């Protein structure tokens, strides 16, 4: 069994109103590639937020008293902290050099996922308003124009508890279930599996991150071809929620 | 830029004393493949523990009073809990259906990483005693016999805080740095990067997990070919420790 990952060259710097599916199709054409059944298209969230005009002008923000306090504690800019608070449902932890929140969308991550890389000076991109819907729109257009069954995952890079370093994670998912429930399947010795739920969309996002990089690679779209569980996980109505652990079940928040 | 991942067919059920590098070389030969400069070889930890005779016979274990108490609280078998305690430096959290510990090696994970899948009945495999050393031995033999610069990563599948579902992670690493420090590099707009530390070994392990699977796939060894940062990260003395966040810096443990 083998899987191929490749980055799309020639995706331009995206601006508000750009159609990401069009950009992907054009880049594929220039690369002499066409999409195939089961291809998974991973799109960096910055691309999505910028195309949706979801960009924060930090200079325009008036920090609240809360933001000023948290800015002092976290040694972050108070305007950025106000933006973080506005994107959050709850502030989970504040420490020197970090603010961890639960975003409006339910992601627990640093800085509400607000990113100051790969966007113009004085600007920042929050996570997409509804990355599932963004993924769905891209997938539906790509499927319509190619006639193939595909999946689209909107990706971010986030830190973790207990381990150092950021990894690629999925923010939105369309076309396949993000969680592979394998309960009842057997191991090599015929015993029932213990690890029965695999966060497949996060593993796909982590894989894509090896190519997307974090710097000036300019490869924000990656295609994963040959993932053998595509048909098993196919779901036209999927979204990211199976990967989000509700607060009441999260031992590290209670 | 493209990356290829492929699983090695024909790796047999491993027993104590088996030489994993030999098994890999034989399987490659049967597949008509040879290793190339920069190939990263990902080996499932169960394979390593079994070859090292590092297998727990659950029936032989006499549970301590602590184990009996934790077993009641976590609804787990008291012999398994005793094994979990013996592999742990500290019990981090106990709840209905889970015991999270810091292992002797410094990994914070469920059940001290003890795995009851893909091992004979009544047996369980802990994480390898020293997965860095296991990876190093495999790498050195593979490099010697092929003449190529390679990396070996010992992988596991673990759950996470905040997100549902397990993902592939690295337990041991040899030949490349597990953490990619990118401080000072620039983004597409020439601004200094924010996310400056990427847990590359974990992203590689998550990628391999897409092929290794969790069930009866029988593909515990995966080769990743074409990872462009191999030369940048090349380090003959690397180990996993850069990925382990010390307790005193972990906000979710204090």
- B1-54+128-254 CATH fold: 60s Ribosomal Protein L30; Chain: A; (3.30.1330)
- Among A residues 178-207, those touching chain B with beta carbons less than 8 Å apart: 178-180, 182, 185-189, 191, 193-200, 202-204, 206-207
What is the bridge-based pairing of β-strands B108-110 and B98-103? Answer: antiparallel
pLDDT band for position B202 (50/70/90)?
Answer: very high
Q: Which residues contact B234 (CB under 8 A, 6 or more apart)?
A: B149, B175, B176
Secondary structure E strands in chain A: 2-7, 40-44, 56-57, 88-95, 98-103, 108-110, 123-124, 151-158, 167-176, 180-181, 197-198, 221-225, 234-235
Q: Average pLDDT in the A42-53 region?
A: 95
Alpha-carbon span B188 to A56, nearest angstrom = 18
Q: Are B118 and B126 in contact (CB under 8 A)?
A: no
pLDDT above 70: percentage of residues in chain A: 96
Question: What's the pLDDT score for residue B182?
Answer: 86
In this complex, do A169 and B163 lie within 8 Å of one another by their Cβ atoms? yes
Alpha-carbon span B182 to A200, nearest angstrom = 27
Scanning the structure block, which residue is given the tokens 């150092």?
A164
Q: Which residues contact A16 (CB under 8 A, 6 or more apart)?
A: A50, A51, A52, A53, A55
pLDDT band for position B214 (50/70/90)?
Answer: low
pLDDT digits (tens, 9 = 90+) for B161-188: 899 999 999 999 999 999 999 877 777 7
In this complex, do A202 and B206 lie within 8 Å of one another by their Cβ atoms? yes
**Res A190 pLDDT > 80:** no
**Interchain contact A225–B (C-beta under 8 A):** no
CA-based nearest distance A207→chain B, Å: 5
**Res B8 pLDDT > 70:** yes
Q: Average pLDDT in the B188-195 region?
A: 69
- State chain B's maximal CA–CA distance in angstroms: 62
pLDDT digits (tens, 9 = 90+) for A160-188: 989 999 999 999 999 999 999 987 777 77
Please determine whether the domains at B1-54+128-254 and B55-127 fall in the same fold group of CATH. no
**Res B96 pLDDT > 90:** no
Q: Are B172 and B41 in contact (CB under 8 A)?
A: no
In this complex, do A169 and B182 lie within 8 Å of one another by their Cβ atoms? no
Q: What interhelical angle do A20-30 and A131-146 show, nearest 10? A: 50
**Res A138 pLDDT > 60:** yes
Mutation target vs B (from A38, A122, A203; most B CBs, 10 A cutoff): A203
Q: Average pLDDT in the A109-127 region?
A: 86
Scanning the structure block, which residue is given the tokens 């009842």?
A184
Alpha-carbon span A58 to B219, nearest angstrom = 49
In this complex, do B179 and A161 lie within 8 Å of one another by their Cβ atoms? no
DSSP 8-state symbol, A58: G
Alpha-carbon span A46 to B187, nearest angstrom = 12
Alpha-carbon span A242 to B1, nearest angstrom = 31
Of 3.30.70.120, 3.90.1660.10, 1.10.3720.10, 3.30.70.260, the CATH number of B55-127 is 3.90.1660.10
> Could you give the C-alpha distances from A144 to A21, A90, A137, in angstroms and in order?
11, 39, 11
Element holding A18 (H helix, E strand):
none
- Domain ranges in chain B? 1-54+128-254, 55-127
Nearest-CA residue of chain A relative to B228? A211
Alpha-carbon span B225 to A9, nearest angstrom = 20
**Interchain contact B210–A (C-beta under 8 A):** yes
């Amino acid at each position: 069994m083998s899987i191929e990952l490749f980055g799309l060259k020639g995706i331009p710097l995206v601006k508000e109103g750009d159609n990401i599916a069009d950009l992907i199709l054009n880049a594929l054409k220039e690369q002499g590639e066409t999409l195939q059944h089961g291809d998974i298209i991973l799109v960096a969230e910055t691309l999505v937020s910028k195309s949706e005009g979801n960009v924060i002008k930090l200079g325009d923000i008036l920090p609240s008293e809360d933001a000023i306090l948290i800015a002092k504690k976290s040694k972050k800019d108070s305007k950025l902290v106000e933006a973080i608070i506005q994107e959050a449902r709850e502030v989970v932890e504040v420490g020197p050099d970090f603010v961890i929140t639960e975003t409006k969308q339910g992601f627990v991550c640093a800085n509400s996922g607000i990113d100051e890389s790969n966007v113009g000076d004085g600007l920042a991109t929050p996570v997409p308003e509804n990355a599932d819907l963004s993924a769905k729109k891209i997938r539906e257009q790509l499927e319509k124009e190619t006639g193939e069954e595909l999946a689209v995952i909107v990706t971010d890079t986030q830190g973790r508890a207990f381990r150092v370093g950021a990894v690629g994670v999925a923010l939105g998912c369309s076309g396949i279930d993000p969680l592979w429930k394998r309960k009842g399947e057997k191991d090599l010795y015929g015993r029932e599996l213990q690890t029965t739920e695999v966060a497949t969309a996060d593993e796909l996002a982590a894989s894509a991150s090896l190519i997307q990089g974090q710097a000036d690679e300019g490869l924000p779209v990656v295609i994963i071809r040959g993932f053998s569980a595509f048909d098993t996980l196919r779901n036209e109505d999927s979204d990211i929620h199976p990967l989000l652990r509700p607060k009441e079940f999260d031992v590290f928040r209670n």
